[in-house]
Structure 1
Amino acid sequence: MLTIALLLLFGLLFVAVEVVFIPGTTVVGVVGFALLVVGVWLGYRDLGTPLGHYALVGVTLLAGLIVYVGLRPKNLARVALTTTNDASVQDVRRPDVVPGTVGQTLSALRPAGTALFGTERREVVTRGEFVPAGSAVRVLGIEHNRILVAVV
């Protein structure tokens, strides 16, 4: 009797964990369902048909209640992502550093590095020449998502 009660209890706990904490079909839900099936089957085998019926009806009602309470929209809203991401990125089709802008290198360009244009730090690249840090550079253009610069 204790074995059957523990199987049913752990089966219901696993189903509750599956519905509330780990939504989706995972191992926890399958194991919980298997424990419930084995517990009800053992209830019929060891305790007889009337008590097996009680176990089956009780497990069905409790599992249904767990699923109903766990899948209510109010409870799902607690674990669902409801915020929106309104961040933006710099798009190369609308560059903020236009050709002809003069800046200063913050690192050595070998041939890529960092340059400062006004207050904006940008990754830049040269045509292949090395430029020491602190040199003045001019933007030649934007090619394939890279800012192309040359020494002034």
Structure 2
Amino acid sequence: MTWFILLSLLTVGLLLVLTEILFVPGTTLVGIIGVLFTAGGIYYAFLKFDNQTGWIILLLAVLVNFSAIIYGFRSGVWSKFALKDAITGHAFEDRLQGLELGMEGKAVSDIKPIGKAEIGEKIYEVKSDSGLIRAGTKIYIHKLENNKIIIKA
């Protein structure tokens, strides 16, 4: 029974440390609990066995834990969890393409101060620089900045 308790404490400690490294890195709580379980197992070994056996168990526990940690880092497990792709697109990347200052259009909805306007053959979301503009009013592009179309009546 003594060996069962000892091996259980050391195994649970090792599994918690590996769980910290492989599945929940950065939280440290799981790793600390794992180290406490391992330390508890080593302390239990010193209580129940003679000093020589306690030191052997300490050496084996440290060796197994460090071996498992090194194996975890070198096995490439991190590459399975790591994000390898990057998002390179941007929202409304080509929204202002083909538009120029002074282009004319027509307000499709009331623009107070944001609404819809038809410029060319497309409908765009626009912002009024001159307050309320009623639907059907002729507008022109006053500014193009930060992916926004600012208009005046």
Number of paired residues?
A: 148
TM-score (normalizing by structure 2): 0.77
Q: CA deviation at 1:23?
A: 2.2
For the Cα contact (< 8 Å) 1:112–1:123, is it kept in 2?
A: yes
1:122-146 CA distances to partner (integer Å, 9 max, x unpaired)?
34224112322x5542212236764
* TM score, norm. by length of structure 1: 0.78
**Cα distance, 1:65 vs. partner?**
1.9
Whether the 8 Å contact between 1:112 and 1:126 is mirrored in structure 2 is: no
- Deviation, structure 1 residue 63: 1.0
Aligned residue number for residue 63 of structure 1: 65
Aligned to 1:47: 49
SS in 1 for 2:76: helix
Residue equivalent to 1:102:
104
Q: Which runs of 4+ in 1 moved over 4 A?
A: 143-146
Find the counterpart in structure 1 of residue 10 from structure 2.
8
Superposition deviation, residue 19 in structure 1: 1.1
Segments of structure 1 that go 5 or more residues without pairing to the other structure are none
Q: Does 1:148 align with 2:150?
A: yes
Sequence identity percentage: 23
- Find out whether 1:75 has 2:81 as its counterpart: no
Equivalent pair of 1:124/1:148 in contact (CA under 8 Å): yes
Question: In the alignment, which of 119, 122, 128 is matched to residue 122 of structure 2?
Answer: 119
